[in-house]
Amino acid sequence: MHLRWVALARLLAPTLIVGGALLAREYMPGLDGDARVILVNLPYLIAVACLVMAYQFRRLRLMLATVGITSLYWLIQNHLQVSLAQPDAARLFLVASLALPLLCLYLLLIPERGMFNTYGAVVTVFFLGIGGACFALADVMLQAALAEGNAFSARPVEDYVLSAGASKLVLAALVVGLGLVVLRDTVAESVLLGVLASGFFSLALLHLDDISIAMGIAGGLCLVWGLLRSSYAMAYRDELTGLLSRRALNERLNTLGRRYSIAMLDVDHFKRFNDKHGHDVGDEVLKLVASRVSQVGNGGIAYRYGGEEFCIVFPRKSSEDCAAALDDVRERIADYKMSIRDRRSRPQRSRDGARRRGATRVGTDEVSVTISAGVAARDEDCPDAEAVILAADSKLYKAKKTGRNRVIF
């Protein structure tokens, strides 16, 4: 439950950006002269910055989202500033109202697996293909929209331009996106939902003055936020476990006050896991431990220290204050039964493994993973963070020597 709330919290920034842009739109019509010129061109400037960052950080989905939302803004500014009763405008509006949810849904569903490889090329071709298909079917969609009772002809309420059919597609993309925000531990899904929302308001409220400008800026800022978060994750997140990295720990240690405690944790018999079951099982063990350590209570902040070692910083806490939280983490890890398939019974091909999942498992063992931990607090004997870590490490090895699966304070 905690992890779900953390995942949903990623939606806060895109929500605030889009909501703030809706409020700011009220003041845009009063601008003129140079301010107006800057405002109209600002979405393009933001898009250039997003493309550069997406290229630098190898974020293909966000690069394609930038292309998509900028194309929508250009389309509205150059071709949809007229009555939708005109056939050309109606055709382009239908294309945009279908392309927006379909492309966002496509980008939500595909994983991020690189940019300059075969996968990236295929993803890009399909993205362009979906957009091209919407243009190719424009005439058919226009005829359908003009047909009485067709889902793409109805406008649900007054001053709401988007058709019922397109609105349902947007809703479907939104529901899928919310599910993926919870299931995936990445920020891209939240960003794409922000882009979807900004595009939706641009089309649904097309009759409002400067709505496309406000939403063009909002969509770009959502992308900027996501790309900055991606750069932070690359620098300060451990790729395997998702925990904060050693670099993040070093920076945090420089900002601690005069009262804090540090716990050093180590997976018991980790080398034995690797030697007996393979490094892939070892990685799963580290992920398991990280998932439990990340939920430590009493204000603790978890980091991956290196290898099978983890570190938890407790600001403004004594060693005694951390006891219950650390014992809880230790017990939850020890109580979890991990199923491990014998190396000889594992399929060589991932396709065979996928086919076997859900079937009766042959040659599997259930094992328990345990950790040992040592805790030290800043005091006269340990006047700085480095000394506290050394003291905690010393107690960690004492826990190892006295039987493992325990916490030494």
Active centre residues (catalytic): 308
Nearest to 203 by CA among 68, 106, 110: 68
Dihedral of CA 125/127/130/135: which sign? negative
Q: Judge residue 178's burial from the number of C-beta atoms within 10 Å of its C-beta, 0-12 exposed, 13-18 middle, 19 or more buried.
A: middle
Report the 3 state secondary structure along 221-287.
Answer: HHHHHHHHHHHHHHHHECCCCCCECHHHHHHHHCCCCCCEEEEEEEECCHHHHHHHHCHHHHHHHHH
Contact criterion met (CB below 8 Å) for 72 and 103: no
Nearest to 182 by CA among 2, 1, 8: 8
3-class SS at 375? strand
Report the 3 state secondary structure along 142-182.
Answer: HHHHHCCCCCCCCCCCCCCCCCHHHHHHHHHHHHHHHHHHH
Q: How many CB atoms sit inside 10 A of residue 43's CB?
A: 25
User: The tokens 């004594």 sit on which residue?
Assistant: 318
What is the C-alpha to C-alpha distance for residues 29 and 270, in angstroms, rounded to an integer? 64
Provide CB contacts within 8 A for 349, sequence distance 6+: none
Nearest to 262 by CA among 308, 306, 317: 317
Residue type, 25: R
Q: How many CB atoms sit inside 10 A of residue 158's CB?
A: 6
